[in-house]
Amino acid sequence: MIQEGSRVLLLTERKKRYLVRVKPGVRFHTSEGYIDLSELIGKRYGTRLTSNIGSVWFALKPTILDIIMKMPRPTQIVYPKDLGAIITLGNIRPGSRVLEAGTGSGVLTAVIASYVMPDGIVYSYDISEEYLENARKQLDELGLLPYVVLKQGDVTARIEERDLDTVVLDIPTPWLAVQNVYEALSDGGIFISLSPTIEQVIETVDAIGSNGFADITTIELLMRTLRVKRGMTRPDHIMRAHTVYITTARKVCRDSLSY
Amino acid sequence: MIQEGSRVLLLTERKKRYLVRVKPGVRFHTSEGYIDLSELIGKRYGTRLTSNIGSVWFALKPTILDIIMKMPRPTQIVYPKDLGAIITLGNIRPGSRVLEAGTGSGVLTAVIASYVMPDGIVYSYDISEEYLENARKQLDELGLLPYVVLKQGDVTARIEERDLDTVVLDIPTPWLAVQNVYEALSDGGIFISLSPTIEQVIETVDAIGSNGFADITTIELLMRTLRVKRGMTRPDHIMRAHTVYITTARKVCRDSLSY
Amino acid sequence: MIQEGSRVLLLTERKKRYLVRVKPGVRFHTSEGYIDLSELIGKRYGTRLTSNIGSVWFALKPTILDIIMKMPRPTQIVYPKDLGAIITLGNIRPGSRVLEAGTGSGVLTAVIASYVMPDGIVYSYDISEEYLENARKQLDELGLLPYVVLKQGDVTARIEERDLDTVVLDIPTPWLAVQNVYEALSDGGIFISLSPTIEQVIETVDAIGSNGFADITTIELLMRTLRVKRGMTRPDHIMRAHTVYITTARKVCRDSLSY
Amino acid sequence: MIQEGSRVLLLTERKKRYLVRVKPGVRFHTSEGYIDLSELIGKRYGTRLTSNIGSVWFALKPTILDIIMKMPRPTQIVYPKDLGAIITLGNIRPGSRVLEAGTGSGVLTAVIASYVMPDGIVYSYDISEEYLENARKQLDELGLLPYVVLKQGDVTARIEERDLDTVVLDIPTPWLAVQNVYEALSDGGIFISLSPTIEQVIETVDAIGSNGFADITTIELLMRTLRVKRGMTRPDHIMRAHTVYITTARKVCRDSLSY
């Protein structure tokens, strides 16, 4: 049931999405007309609305991903298509101990936190106090702060944690952090790095290949949406052609057995 | 530390992957030579091995995904690139109440269970007792059975659960289950369907569009791997061009507000 | 050497492309400033220009494709990435006898004509006199009219030509023309059909499969552009995800040999 | 009509393709049985055959591309999906004067020759006499030798021709040939380079950007085939993920006009 203070995702007839918080006496205006938010109070999620100019909307219950993707973004964010791959390829699960750098907008932090909870933890480093402060507010509002330790610091200089399950780097020079990541990971721990350019990937793969990692893989994901309508079905005309390359590797050790 | 009875993922020099259980006195043979599994006992995960013919391997700690993807497969399985999208687009998180059909090999069941634990639950339906029995064994061995309720039944005929967060259909005729899924989902609950053919997608989207769902989206994910090697970097030559289309939608209700 | 009346392709600093005809005393205005076209007279193609506000441009010699792609477009046009495939998969070569329908904007007509010349011919059908008239003007200006016979007519009703090498259909209901195309093609002649929707493809493949064609193939081409810049190389962010499906087939005959 | 000595493309029931030359008294054996080639004499192209074990085949008229793609291949060849783009992006048309290096298997040479004929010419350089000799035989048999000048030489050392319309480089170090290509091209001439690795692309784009070229573009083409069958339509499972990057640019000159 939608209540005063509830968050609602408004999906308009033209497929626009607005995340609003329900307050009495507030009109929410869009290019497709307005609705009075107070009218939502007491209604079920999924209620159908008609704006003052006749546009049909739905008042959806936002998923945590909906909310996260609407967070203010001081920095470039990770795209939804890549988030699932990071979670599964990174073996990030309830209970995992994960380090992430940089915190940036906190979007990836929030997603990871929502998958390691209730028993796991995310250590999230950023060099910018301002980004950390912004992320703290967002995570707090999302109820995810208990699962996150925000740390001001530079992972290319120092990582304090040990025995981590996964380290996710979303920084410009991941190759400079490889030795620190090695020390911080548990045996069998997983390294993931996100980089937009191919030169960053080459540097990173070079560094991990000579610093105690194996099973190194770099992928890119392309997501295509379809317009499905009987008799008129086709892929949509435009798609995102690139976001980041995702490189994964596993920590290995050096004591050798020969036969 | 690797112990007797531990599972180990052997990664060979030619990038073959073997999931083994460590037993004393057993030799593990491959086309790249053999190793004595008893030698692994007491070693750290990530240990480097050399087979009897000089091939260099690593004894990796398997992730849950490694283990799941090596489960016996009586049926077609969901690909890793799609698993992450199902988890994130389906809003499947620790604590979620999810229904899945059909159980099939139990691969998707296991992955979902590993993300809803420790407080969530997966109801997994299949019409085949045999598949359910096989899945039960696998889930038990993975320690995931406490988070799964396996049910013999046909979701196109009946779904008993109510107030589910997410329903994931991996069946040949998802459109026949749409009305049952609608009843089973909570307000704002998410419907996901996986189908290999475009005709299945068209039928499904048609059915959900006229049965109380909104925000209907169909996507496909293409994953490209890269060979990263300084001076010789390029995408790999071959890729999987198709697995399944993923259709998502959200339950909406019919009481209408107009202005 | 650029002369009065020459066509020039202006490539601006921001990668905009303008096709102009050089006339004395004319200023060509853009959002990046203007140039006086008369200044181009007597200059070499490839000359570098600076607009009045300091934007650096090039005065390029337009290729025939540049000119064709800037033709007025009353209808949807075929994309450059698909044109090459149509030419090569269609076995369209100097000397080929090709039928095309519909003429539409004449873009595909012009491209085909430019590859069958000087000894081949394109029969181009359209039901719209207006489209044909527009195409005639464009083809005339391009000097390609001698290689084209424009015909008012409906290929689903009748095709007059015989012994054609290739038939290219870019019409909404290609399946209705299949029998006529069969009669019009020579032994071994090639059928190509362009369709934006998957339902059109299914109907068409169904029709050709039961009407004397073999070697039926449907493809789609995805073109990705790269931003290549040392240290910052990556695919461009946005790409066209869909234009048309291209279906090809070859005419076969029915007299059977058995062993 | 198929005659003694004709080339025929046999398309088998399992979609295998065999290019044969019809000779009396010869049996052509495959894993799907055999046929007597002499039976083909006097039959129409497109004739349906049944092999001795009941497999249904077609005796198709080979296109020039069919024949070219079956040429012996001492070197890596260019893929059909890329050939059309090279022809159209390279502005290669009947009458064009084109330089190509290296000749390699002669596949690309043959394709270009078949599009510049009857009035154009291809200068094809290779450093290997052996490759040139092999290409000469193939081109002769295809009837394309009159449109090709095969030259033993290294384009990174010297190009003798001038006023070329297009230069196509398919060599390991295209960046070393850029200055020579510049001299050889006419004003507005087009440079195309094919490279499998991203590092080659970066070097090449760097070199052309600082040596008198503009409108520099790098693309890759992905071709996906579809299995079209009513009720079971989907993309094929496997595709080629990479062949070459195609870089194009246009020669520009340095005399500058400012306003």
Q: What is the pLDDT of residues D133-157, one digit of tens each?
A: 999 999 999 999 999 999 999 999 9
Residues of C within 8 A of A198 (CB-CB) are 233-234
In whole angstroms, what is the distance from residue A36 CA to residue A28 CA?
A: 6
- Please determine, for residue A208, whether its predicted confidence score (pLDDT) is greater than 80: yes
Q: Nearest C-alpha of chain A: how many angstroms from B127? A: 28
* Average pLDDT of chain C to the nearest whole number: 94
Work out the pLDDT band at C75, boundaries 50, 70, 90: confident
> A88 and A22, same structural domain?
no
* Residue in B115, B202, B214 nearest the CB of A58: B214
Is residue D258 domain-resident?
no
Question: Six-digit token pair at C236?
Answer: 């461009």
D94–C81 CB contact, under 8 Å: no
Residue B122, pLDDT score: 98
Chain C positions contacting chain A at CB under 8 Å are: 196-199, 224-225, 230-243
What confidence tens digit (pLDDT) does each residue in A185-201 have? 999 899 999 999 999 99
Structural domain includes residue A256: no
**Which stretches of chain D are DSSP H helices?**
64-69, 80-89, 107-116, 129-142, 178-184, 198-209
What does the pLDDT look like over A57-81, one tens digit per residue?
Answer: 999 999 989 999 888 877 777 888 9
Return the pLDDT at B71. Answer: 85
Sign of CA dihedral C17, C19, C25, C31: negative
Residue C129 contacts residue C159 (beta carbons within 8 Å): no
Q: How confident is the model at residue D71 (pLDDT cuts 50, 70, 90)?
A: confident
Q: Is B228 close to A118, i.e. CB distance below 8 A?
A: no
Three-state secondary structure along A28-41?
EEECCEEEEHHHHC
| Residue A117 and residue A21 in one domain | no
Are A19 and A142 a contacting pair, CB within 8 Å?
no
B233 vs D199, D230, D240: nearest CB: D199
pLDDT number for residue C259: 46
A185 and A240 belong to one structural domain: yes
Q: Which of B23, B41, B62 is the last residue of a domain?
A: B62
Q: What is the pLDDT of residues B157-198, one digit of tens each?
A: 999 999 999 999 999 999 999 999 999 999 989 999 999 999
What is the maximal distance between C-alpha atoms in chain C? 79
CB contacts of C60 in chain D (<8 Å) are 188, 214-215, 250, 252
For the whole model, what pTM was predicted?
0.95
Q: pLDDT value at position C74?
A: 73
Nearest residue, CB atoms, B242 vs list D231, D237, D241: D237
Using the 3D structure, point to which of A15, A31, A62 is the last residue of a domain: A62
- Mark which of B62, B81, B103 sits at the end of a domain: B62
Find which of A173, A202, A234 to mutate to test the C interface (most C CBs within 10 Å of its CB): A234
Nearest residue to A16 via CA among A38, A40, A33: A33
Question: pLDDT above 90 covers what percent of chain A?
Answer: 90
Tokens of D73: 């291949």
Question: Which of B218, B221, B242, B246 would you mutate first to test chain D, the one with the most D CBs within 10 A?
Answer: B242
Which residues have C-beta within 8 Å of that of residue D251, sequence separation ≥ 6? C46, D182, D185, D186, D187, D188, D189, D190, D191, D212, D213
CB contact under 8 A, C198 and A238: no
**From C38, which residue of chain D is nearest by alpha-carbon distance?**
D257
Flag whether B2 is in a domain: no
D72 falls in which pLDDT band (50, 70, 90)? confident
Say if residue A72 is in the same domain as residue A165: yes
In a domain, C176, yes or no: yes
Do A17 and A132 reside in the same domain of the chain?
no
As for how many domains chain B has, the answer is 2
Q: Are residues B146 and B230 in the same domain?
A: yes
Residue A234 contacts residue B220 (beta carbons within 8 Å)? no
Q: Is the dihedral of CA A101, A106, A110, A113 positive or negative?
A: positive
The answer to whether residues C21 and C73 belong to one domain is no
> Rounded to 10 degrees, what is the CA torsion of C209, C211, C215, C216?
-50
Residues of D in contact with B241 (CB under 8 A): 224-225, 235-239
What pLDDT score was predicted for residue A70? 87
- C70 and C54 housed in the same domain: no
pLDDT of residue A256 exceeding 60, the answer is no
Quote the longest CA-to-CA distance of chain A: 79
A chain contacts of residue C237, beta-carbon cutoff 8 Å: 240-243
Angstrom distance (rounded) from CA C114 to CA C19: 19
> How far apart, in Å, are the Cα atoms of D125 and each of A135, D69, D128, D167?
60, 20, 9, 11
Closest CA to A244 of A114, A113, A76: A76
Given a cut of 50, is residue B258 above it in pLDDT? no
Residue range C98-116, pLDDT digits in tens: 999 999 999 999 999 999 9
Which residues of chain A are within 8 Å of residue C203 when distances are taken between CB atoms?
A: none
Q: Which two tokens stand for residue B93?
A: 């998180």
To the nearest whole percent, how much of chain C has pLDDT over 70?
Answer: 98
CA dist list (Å): A236 to A232, B158, B163, B216, D231: 11, 35, 33, 14, 22
3-class SS of residue D244: coil
* Of residues A225, A233, A238, nearest to C198 (C-beta): A233
Per the CB < 8 Å rule, is B215 touching A60?
A: yes
Assess whether D27 and D39 both reside in one domain: yes
pLDDT in tens, B17-72: 999 999 999 999 999 999 999 999 999 999 999 999 999 999 999 998 999 988 88
Q: What angle do CA C60, C66, C69 make, to 5 degrees?
A: 150
Percent of chain B with pLDDT over 90: 90
Residue C78 lies in a domain: yes
Cβ distance of C197 and A234 shorter than 8 Å = yes
Q: What are the Cα distances from residue A208, in Å, to A217, B48, B55, B226?
A: 11, 16, 21, 16
Of C88, C115, C188, the CB nearest to D65: C88
Question: What is the average per-residue pLDDT within D86-104?
Answer: 97
pLDDT at A253: 86
**Which residue intervals of C90-177 are DSSP H helices?**
107-116, 129-141
Domain, as residue range, for B163: 66-251
Query: Is the pLDDT assigned to residue A255 strictly greater than 80?
Result: no
Residues B55 and B169 grouped into a single domain:
no
Please check the confidence at residue D127 and state whether its pLDDT lies above 90. Answer: yes
Mean pLDDT calculated for residue range A126-138: 96
Q: Which residues of C touch A236 (CB under 8 A)?
A: 241-242
CATH number at residue C23: 3.10.330.20
Report the amino acid identity of residue B17: R
pLDDT reported for residue D259: 46
Chain A residue with minimal CA distance to C195?
Answer: A234
| A58 and A130 share one domain | no
Least CB-CB distance to B91: which of A51, A64, A233? Answer: A64
Q: Which residues of B touch D246 (CB under 8 A)?
A: none
Asked if residue C2 belongs to a domain, the reply is no
What is the rounded average pLDDT of the residues D1-12? 95
- Kindly report which listed range (A3-17, A133-147, D70-84, D151-165) carries the lowest average pLDDT score: D70-84
Q: Which of B80, B233, B255 sits opposite A202 (nearest CB)?
A: B233
Selected for mutation to probe chain B from A22, A65, A83, A88 (highest B CB count within 10 Å) is A88
Chain D residues whose CB is inside 8 A of the C255 CB are 43-44, 47-48
Confidence of residue D87 (pLDDT cuts 50, 70, 90): very high
pLDDT above 50 (res A259):
no
**C231/A196 CB distance under 8 A:** no
Instruction: Report the residue of C201, C225, C238, C242 to disrupt the A interface, i.e. the one with the largest count of A CBs within 10 Å.
Output: C242
A257 within a domain of the structure (yes/no) = no
> How far is residue C73's CA from residue C62's CA, in Å, rounded to a whole number?
19
B217 vs A118, A201, A225: nearest CB: A225
- Res B147: pLDDT: 98
Question: Under a CB-based contact definition with an 8 Å cutoff, are residues C30 and C13 in contact?
Answer: no
Complex ipTM: 0.94
Contacts 24+ apart (CB under 8 A), C10-13: C10/C35, C10/C49, C10/C57, C10/C58, C10/C59, C10/C60, C11/C57, C11/C58, C11/C60, C11/D214, C11/D215, C12/C51, C12/C55, C12/C57, C13/C55, C13/C56, C13/C57
The span from the CA of B10 to the CA of B60, in Å, is 6
Cβ–Cβ below 8 Å for D242 and B233: no
Separation in Å, CA of B259 to nearest CA in chain A = 5
Å between B157 CA and nearest CA of chain A:
25
B165: domain CATH number? 3.40.50.150
Residue with tokens 């999810």: B98
Based on its alpha-carbon atoms, the radius of gyration of chain C, rounded to whole angstroms, reads 21
Mean pLDDT, chain B, rounded, equals 94
Per-residue pLDDT band at C255 (split at 50, 70, 90)? low
CA atoms within 13 A on the CB side of D149: 11
* Contact in structure between C37 and D244 (CB atoms under 8 Å): no
> Is B87 a residue whose pLDDT tops 70?
yes
C131-188 pLDDT per residue, tens: 999 999 999 999 999 999 999 999 999 999 999 999 999 999 999 999 999 999 999 8
At C76 the pLDDT is: 77
Q: Could you tell me if residue B257 is inside a domain?
A: no
Length of chain C: 259
In B, which residues are within 8 Å of D173 by CB distance? none
Structure tokens, A201: 């990937």
Residue C82 sits in the same domain as residue C194: yes
Mean pLDDT on D205-217: 95
Q: Are C250 and C188 in contact (CB under 8 A)?
A: yes
Subunit contact A198:C233, Cβ cutoff 8 A: yes
From the number of C-beta atoms within 10 Å of its C-beta (0-12, 13-18, 19+), residue D74 rates as middle
Two structure tokens written together for D258: 């400012």
How far CA D212 is from CA of B163, C14, D96, D185, D191, in Å, comes to 67, 18, 22, 11, 11
Q: How confident is the model at residue D255 (pLDDT cuts 50, 70, 90)?
A: low
Please give the pLDDT value at position A73: 78
Chains that touch B (3 or more CB pairs under 8 A): A, D
Residue B170 tokens read as 């991996």
What is the CA angle A226-C222-C114, rounded to 5?
125
Kind and range of the H or E run holding B50: strand B47-50
Q: How would DSSP label each residue in A239-251?
A: EE--S-EEEEEEE
CA angle, residues A148, A100, A247, in degrees to nearest 5: 150
